Amino acid sequence: MKITKICCIGAGYVGGPTMAVIAQKCPHIQVKVVDLNAERIAAWNDEDLNNIPIYEPGLDAIVGEARGRNLFFSTEVEKAIDEAQIIFISVNTPTKTYGKGKGMAADLKYIELCARQIAKIAKDDKIVVEKSTLPVRTAEAIKSILDNTGNGVQFQILSNPEFLAEGTAVSDLLNPDRILIGGDTTAEGQEAIQTLVDVYANWVPTDKILTTNVWSSELSKLTANAFLAQRISSINAMSELCEKTGADVNEVAKAIGMDSRIGPKFLKASVGFGGSCFQKDILNLVYIAKSYGLNEVADYWEQVIIMNDHQKRRFSSNIVQTLYNTVSDKKITFLGWAFKKDTNDTRESAAIYVADDLINENAKIAVYDPKVSRKKILADLDYLESRKAEDNANAILSFEDPYEASKGAHAIAVLTEWDEFVQYDWQRIYDSMQKPAFVFDGRNILNRAEMESIGFVYQAIGS
């Protein structure tokens, strides 16, 4: 099948960048990204590329090149489904907040709604691609819905999980470690797999395109995120032991990372991992294991989450204890709110939970983040429902300048590893703060000797 039209349902962190790169690399294919959120679509269509809804280095240039040529953003979902030969489903799959599996299982209501909408509209054969992170055997449910429409349309369901790291999503898409495509072992399923392989082969070497059955593909995504998160929780667990014994976690990480069997990646101690994927996917994995009666497997992976939550609480508790066991009416400046650098995504950011703990102790939080708005900061805190929205608004001060954010502060907490933080005039910041002036380096990006030579009381995770 020669592909000329693709659509993607969902214009979020996965769908938008992925389709932009496909459009750039496949100018012969029309790519439509559709979403019911009119405000989001309007932002993707904004003439000023600085206003597109997702910040990723290099994404604005790619969108600018392809948009209007063969890349389109629209709210006309039904029309795009009708015209497309390949339909990517890239909608949110949050953790359930209700019913069976509450707090662990993935909420698949948006996936089911997409499947039912495709079934209702499709008039000819389609390839439907799972791009969202989904539990094993979700494709089976999608296929059941699509195959029972009664209109004679034939569907092939493929699993094509994303392996993007926010902050490097564009380079991950342009030069992926691998592209994973899972499908049926039937002749029709293999033909559908090859059709999608041919799309990616426009820029990805075929030896980096891995094909499997659909179940292996779905489970591989959950497993990859679980393994990465496990490494972070492992080094964070050692960071606490380092603090007690006099070891330095950075030196320990370097020593073990030089072992080729371990490697250096994801061994940077921090206040904890965040983002939309790690916690959600591990909880999903835990739920799946429990549903099969694999309680020991579930307990093993759940400990990764327990350690991550502990690291966040430990960081905020350390701030309180160091500041003479009270932060009431003290100004604590947060440098960073996004869960990692080079993204404006704040989902599950450690900053949210550390701020929540400190506000409960009556601290005043001053926030500077180069890419996160006050509106988003307050929305993150309000989502926790720990207190009234007006109380959050009164407790949070937001600034567009880090030096202003730091004036009069009793302490600074580094919550995101933005490169610019290392380049600040830290003497100027120190001079404007209350004395003694404290720095709590939750991301281990500042130079301890430099901070202490200026006069800061400096504390970092694991040192």
Nearest to 145 by CA among 123, 126, 117: 117
Helix H, strand E, coil C: the string for the chain is: CCCCEEEEECCCCCHHHHHHHHHHHCCCCEEEEECCCHHHHHHHCCCCHHHCCCCCCCHHHHHHHHECCCEEEECCHHHHHHHCCEEEECCCCCECCCCCCCCCCECCHHHHHHHHHHHHHCCCCEEEEECCCCCCCHHHHHHHHHHCCCCCCCEEEEECCCCCCCCCHHHHHHCCCCEEEEECCCHHHHHHHHHHHHHHCCCCCHHHEEEEEHHHHHHHHHHHHHHHHHHHHHHHHHHHHHHHHCCCHHHHHHHHHCCCCCCCCCCCCCCCCCCCCHHHHHHHHHHHHHHCCCHHHHHHHHHHHHHHHHHHHHHHHHHHHHCCCCCCCCEEEEECCCCCCCCCCCCCCHHHHHHHHHHHCCCEEEEECCCCCHHHHHHHHHHHCCCCHHHHHHHEEECCCHHHHHCCCCEEEECCCCHHHHHCCHHHHHHHCCCCCEEEECCCCCCHHHHHHHCCEEEECCC
> Using CA atoms, how far apart are residues 274 and 328, in angstroms rounded to an integer?
27
Active site residue 277: yes
Catalytic residue numbers, as ranges: 277
